[in-house]
Copies of this chain bind each other. A is one copy, B any other.
Amino acid sequence: MQDLEKILENNNVKPTAMRLLVLQFLLDKKVAISLTDVENYFDKSDRTTLYRTLQTFVKSELAHKIEDGTGIPKYALCEENCHCEIDNDLHLHFRCTNCNETVCITDYKIPTISLPKGYIAEDVNLVVKGICDKCSHN
């Protein structure tokens, strides 16, 4: 698919070979992935490059970083026209304790959270832990 290059260019990211491969990997995987996941998949390539590739993707709003409670950051591609804004784009994440996968539940946006006086919300992270779709029905 040559659309890959366009995806990157649309976000002002130069389409290098490695970036195209990582982007493809993210597109194929329907779950959130860690740096180690990418590293294991592309065991030829260097960890730092992959690390910085993910950083670049996040900075350019192509992907978002997910803190799922494991302490290991995960990454997933953003949806079309996502700017990771607190009132529009933030969705719920689900981490399965069985298969250990973390997925974006993009259909379930995070509701506006009310806070005590004085607190200013800039970002909201909602992670539900439990048994996922696949793991529950068998």
Mark A residues whose CB is within 8 Å of B: 67, 69, 71-73, 92, 94, 97, 105, 107-108, 111, 113-134, 136-137
Contact = CB atoms under 8 A, between A and B. Distances in A.
A67 B119 CA distance: 19
A37 B72 CA distance: 21
B126 A97 contact: no
A69 B130 CA distance: 18
For this chain, the copies found in one complex come to 2
A132 B119 contact: yes
A35 to B, nearest CB: 12
Contact of A120 (B72, B113, B117, B131): B131
Contact of A136 (B71, B119, B127): B119
